[in-house]
Structure 1
């Protein structure tokens, strides 16, 4: 995107809405801020405002580092800031005065003149301007400067999408072929057991996860079988035939089982007769057959939930006899289950470790890294004695302000990187007196419970506590703020959410305390439009380019596009008036959410373009399609 594009887009920028309350405090460029913001509360608006205020206060563009979670988020953030700066260049004094006042910044003649120069300063700054990027992109840039120190091939590149899947398939095939050629029956057996246990697709997914956890798997000792058995309380000398041995004649109380069968037979009911027959059949089987059917024997006196059946023989000795036999049977069944699970876990870990080694070797041979490699190698590089200290020093010299977006999706290693970047902000020469160095994070603690990419609410909390202590030691404070006014949802919807949260309780969601009530800043009421269900009832073959798409999907995409066009049509009966905005519905007011990036999403783009929309795709949690 060139400067000309930004000037064209800047003509569409609306005046900056005044920052109010905690929005203004959160965007204060001299405060360390830990901001909690639910979805739709304007966190990106606050983030971009903070960057603008930093620039207005004299921060060098290249000294600002904004780490976001997705490429789309980084692009949207950069576009917002660049559009605003480009717009300021063209504004008259009155409008620019209002812009700066809305941000809470000085708005005199000198400040207005400074604001008009910021766009050029950003474009001409060292490194190409603002550093707004994903944390993976930051790691890639850092590692590219020190590939040998990080143990990488110069010129390495990240692997994504289809290439990663294709490499995984190729590595698995090579692992199997090599095992067959070398006669490695253990590995072949482990892979076979994994496939039988999980199924082919889930087995592949497991191996893919194992490849991402290669470091952890390598940390396990070579004697995995013994380790897993000890962890699951399975005797070291246990053999698969031990259960059959325990079920052989003379190894168990046969008389007790016969007595139980007699009690059931005397019960004189169909259930009793069936139970007696089942015991007799079990006793007639071989020791091996008895071992296999042991759990079925327990169902004589237990229900499917593992509890004693409510009804049974009326014999006075029945309860005690049933309980004694259940203890014997339960101990053997438990041991058999633990042994089978231990064998399955051992084989899975062994297969996963061997696959992870092969996959890592294949990546290195091709000069490839995945996202987990980028994070792991950056943490290791920054912690390396000598070179790590020097790299952190150079980063510290280049970075004065760190902004972390979607902080709830930042995992432990990523927090270690952020902490390394900000380690000197509060101490020593890094705590400079001529200007304030700041850290700003924004996220939603509630969303951390999803555990995306290894995130954990406790890591989020620990990061906040860690920065709190560093700031306190330097005589500063991390200001904790919250945005809970939603610009996206109406109050009735938020009331339902709050009521559900209250009924579930914050502990059930893994939250340390109850969340604040949600408030709508949108105003007005929402509406639900129900479209008729569509089915694929077309006759004959479709020779068009979209013939491979199911008919009902094509119909739905077309119906949605026409519906949106109807809502926006000037003079049309379906045109929508937005009471809270006091204006007619605009294209940027519409968002379509689909379950996944599939056929429907692609067809929607085509259908909306056919209706005259210029689309801008924004992929977040799910697939969003916004159009302008």
Structure 2
């Protein structure tokens, strides 16, 4: 059996993914032609198509989608600029291309060449150029910014707001941190400083700022309610941590344990006698001294790995003469482990509350500074847009947007946050329901959503990216599309035009191991779904494996990479 040609495989899957009549969620490995796929789909959406009319069987040429009714959102400005430039370059070539070359390119896009399609293809360059602001290809933040400027009253924002860039936002946030630390409660600062210095605190604050949408419900609670919520989430008891520490050194079965220890100190091996006598001496101490030396008591019941000692650490002779002893010793070990967990949970509750006590006024100062300057940051763009689209009183905004969008394309969706997914969901809410599930603005194609990304490449969790949302929204869109009896596809692009076989083979071998694949494979998968296929057949490559540099081997300071 012959090996399939990589280019044939790539072209077949690209064609399946770029079908303008289907809603598609594409899994695209690095170097598999993702940008080309996006450009191909944009072109196919805008070009006329021959279609067989239901019922009559008549073949008609249907108009393409007007360029202004397509929105393409990507993750970075650089990616958006590259996409726009490549689209313009492609359309520019078509303007003066020889008919034979143009026909070849149209056929590659599954568009039948003819006088009408050639004319439409040549005119696309000017049609796109004449659009106010050009094609709507940009970042999610740029889209939100334009939306808020279009509906400032509904969004309760000044129409003249300015965008605070990341550098200015960091400076403003640092200023707010310094101002709050100067007046913050000393005890709460001590709890935080024991865990993190100022640099780490600033980093943590930036992470919390990026997840402000998740933080708001917590900040809306009173401090008592916050504490109750954290205790419930962490399994922490509603008692003072001092009581838990006292419980560690006051065994509930102390007298029975004392009896076992006494027998073991008399009848055990020399090593066991020494250990048991040490525990008896510990029991003879007052409470304050027990608290200082609790590790001595715990070492008699727990291993260095913090697991209960086998048979309670007792020898066979003692177990045979006192059968109840192992269970008694193991119960004490489990009690100690449970108290450790409760104390750790209480510590996390205290730390979280102290953090919020400082974070809340810092974020308030930061927000006040933005308001005073008439500025919003990137998180505000997402949050305010989401609030605008979720507000039932602003339903007509959705109507206005819905009337102007027929096809939504999403790039790099592995880095999309849950809030950004909700915006995409709101923009397409009527695509597949009721009268909204109509054909696009010229009656040519069903309205579609297209998303492309790679679960394995999700690296922006610190900015809110969530692989779980990636899976959840793929399933949501699938239900919506199939519920409207529309076409849904989930092709994968695995042919790499970037790397050669030695590199791809090593990657596949490494991540064929379940342990290595755990962070890359979706739930339910034990490895990567498909092996990578090199398009550069027969070309060589080299992989160098370097040992990791251990922390103690670094000769730089703590701020080094």
Category of TM-score, reference length = shorter chain:
0.7 to 0.9
- Taking the aligned partners of 1:399 and 1:233, their CA distance within structure 2 comes to 47
Structure 2 residue 98 is the aligned partner of structure 1 residue 92: yes
- 71-80 vs 264-273, which moves further: 264-273
Structure 2 residue 26 is the aligned partner of structure 1 residue 35: yes
Structure 1 residues 495, 140: CA separation in 2 closer, same or farther (over 3 Å shift)?
same
Q: CA deviation at 1:335?
A: 4.1
- 324-333 vs 133-142, which moves further: 324-333
Of residues 14, 17, 22 in structure 2, which corresponds to 1:26? 17
Q: CA deviation at 1:67?
A: 0.6
Q: What's the CA shift string for 1:147-167, capped at 9, x where partnerless?
A: 343233332233333222211
Q: What's the CA shift string for 1:248-290, capped at 9, x where partnerless?
A: 7x9973784486277347656467536644653x456552342
Asked whether the 8 Å contact 1:378–1:417 carries over to 2, the reply is: yes
Structure 2 residue 487 is the aligned partner of structure 1 residue 477: yes
Task: Tell me the residue number matched to 1:298.
Answer: 298
Task: Tell me the residue number matched to 1:526.
Answer: 540
Q: How does 1:319-334 map to 2 (within 5 A)?
A: 319=326, 322-323=329-330, 325-327=332-334, 329-330=336-337, 332-334=339-341
> How high is the TM-score relative to the length of structure 1?
0.72
Which structure ranks higher in relative contact order (CA pairs < 8 Å, sequence separation ≥ 6)? 2
Q: CA deviation at 1:132?
A: 0.5
Structure 1 residues 370, 276: CA separation in 2 closer, same or farther (over 3 Å shift)?
farther
Q: CA deviation at 1:83?
A: 1.2
Task: Tell me the residue number matched to 2:522.
Answer: 510
Structure 2 residue 125 is the aligned partner of structure 1 residue 119: yes
Task: Tell me the residue number matched to 1:570.
Answer: none
> How high is the TM-score relative to the length of structure 2?
0.79
Task: Tell me the residue number matched to 1:203.
Answer: 201
- Taking the aligned partners of 1:18 and 1:88, their CA distance within structure 2 comes to 27
- Taking the aligned partners of 1:363 and 1:404, their CA distance within structure 2 comes to 30
Task: Tell me the residue number matched to 2:387.
Answer: 380
- Taking the aligned partners of 2:392 and 2:420, their CA distance within structure 1 comes to 19
Asked whether the 8 Å contact 1:262–1:276 carries over to 2, the reply is: no
Task: Tell me the residue number matched to 2:355.
Answer: 348
| Aligned-residue RMSD, C-alpha | 3.6
Q: What's the CA shift string for 1:441-481, capped at 9, x where partnerless?
A: 21224445974643444433332333333333433222332
Asked whether the 8 Å contact 1:411–1:459 carries over to 2, the reply is: yes
Of residues 170, 185, 194 in structure 1, which corresponds to 2:175? 170
Asked whether the 8 Å contact 1:294–1:333 carries over to 2, the reply is: no
Asked whether the 8 Å contact 1:265–1:273 carries over to 2, the reply is: no
- Taking the aligned partners of 1:267 and 1:19, their CA distance within structure 2 comes to 73
Asked whether the 8 Å contact 1:153–1:364 carries over to 2, the reply is: no
Task: Tell me the residue number matched to 1:404.
Answer: 410
Of residues 128, 150, 154 in structure 2, which corresponds to 1:145? 150
Task: Tell me the residue number matched to 1:159.
Answer: 164
- Taking the aligned partners of 2:165 and 2:292, their CA distance within structure 1 comes to 46
How many residue pairs get aligned? The number is: 509
Q: What's the CA shift string for 1:383-436, capped at 9, x where partnerless?
A: 2123x2221122122222211111222232222211222223234443445222
Task: Tell me the residue number matched to 2:238.
Answer: 236
Task: Tell me the residue number matched to 1:367.
Answer: 374
- Taking the aligned partners of 1:320 and 1:466, their CA distance within structure 2 comes to 51
Task: Tell me the residue number matched to 2:551.
Answer: none
- Taking the aligned partners of 2:535 and 2:125, their CA distance within structure 1 comes to 32
- Taking the aligned partners of 1:356 and 1:33, their CA distance within structure 2 comes to 40
Give the SS at the match of 2:46: helix
- Taking the aligned partners of 1:442 and 1:245, their CA distance within structure 2 comes to 55
- Taking the aligned partners of 2:18 and 2:115, their CA distance within structure 1 comes to 23
Q: How does 1:14-93 map to 2 (within 5 A)?
A: 20-57=11-48, 58-93=64-99
Segments of structure 2 that go 5 or more residues without pairing to the other structure are: 1-7, 49-63, 548-555
Asked whether the 8 Å contact 1:257–1:325 carries over to 2, the reply is: no
Structure 1 residues 357, 296: CA separation in 2 closer, same or farther (over 3 Å shift)?
farther
Task: Tell me the residue number matched to 1:358.
Answer: 365
Structure 1 residues 529, 301: CA separation in 2 closer, same or farther (over 3 Å shift)?
closer
Structure 1 residues 245, 144: CA separation in 2 closer, same or farther (over 3 Å shift)?
same
Task: Tell me the residue number matched to 1:263.
Answer: 264
Asked whether the 8 Å contact 1:230–1:236 carries over to 2, the reply is: no
Task: Tell me the residue number matched to 1:253.
Answer: 254
Asked whether the 8 Å contact 1:260–1:322 carries over to 2, the reply is: no
Q: What's the CA shift string for 1:177-208, capped at 9, x where partnerless?
A: 344xxxxx3xx422321121233332222222
Of residues 128, 132, 136 in structure 2, which corresponds to 1:131? 136
- 73-82 vs 210-219, which moves further: 210-219
Structure 1 residues 289, 149: CA separation in 2 closer, same or farther (over 3 Å shift)?
farther
Structure 1 residues 523, 192: CA separation in 2 closer, same or farther (over 3 Å shift)?
same
Asked whether the 8 Å contact 1:28–1:53 carries over to 2, the reply is: yes
Give the SS at the match of 1:20: helix
- Taking the aligned partners of 2:265 and 2:348, their CA distance within structure 1 comes to 34
- Taking the aligned partners of 2:279 and 2:151, their CA distance within structure 1 comes to 71
Task: Tell me the residue number matched to 2:60.
Answer: none
Give the SS at the match of 1:525: coil
Give the SS at the match of 1:510: coil
- Taking the aligned partners of 2:293 and 2:361, their CA distance within structure 1 comes to 35
Structure 1 residues 511, 254: CA separation in 2 closer, same or farther (over 3 Å shift)?
closer
- Taking the aligned partners of 1:304 and 1:209, their CA distance within structure 2 comes to 35
Give the SS at the match of 1:132: strand
Q: How does 1:421-440 map to 2 (within 5 A)?
A: 421-433=427-439, 434-436=443-445, 437-440=447-450
Structure 1 residues 189, 472: CA separation in 2 closer, same or farther (over 3 Å shift)?
same
Give the SS at the match of 2:127: helix
Asked whether the 8 Å contact 1:247–1:287 carries over to 2, the reply is: yes
- Taking the aligned partners of 2:481 and 2:545, their CA distance within structure 1 comes to 55
- Taking the aligned partners of 1:271 and 1:300, their CA distance within structure 2 comes to 10
Q: What's the CA shift string for 1:213-268, capped at 9, x where partnerless?
A: 241322434313344345545543535256348747x9973784486277347656
Q: CA deviation at 1:504?
A: 0.5
- Taking the aligned partners of 1:251 and 1:33, their CA distance within structure 2 comes to 62
Task: Tell me the residue number matched to 1:419.
Answer: 425
- Taking the aligned partners of 1:365 and 1:24, their CA distance within structure 2 comes to 52
Structure 1 residues 252, 102: CA separation in 2 closer, same or farther (over 3 Å shift)?
closer
Q: How does 1:453-468 map to 2 (within 5 A)?
A: 453-468=463-478
- Taking the aligned partners of 1:51 and 1:135, their CA distance within structure 2 comes to 18
Asked whether the 8 Å contact 2:237–2:342 carries over to 1, the reply is: no
Give the SS at the match of 1:128: coil
Structure 1 residues 198, 70: CA separation in 2 closer, same or farther (over 3 Å shift)?
same
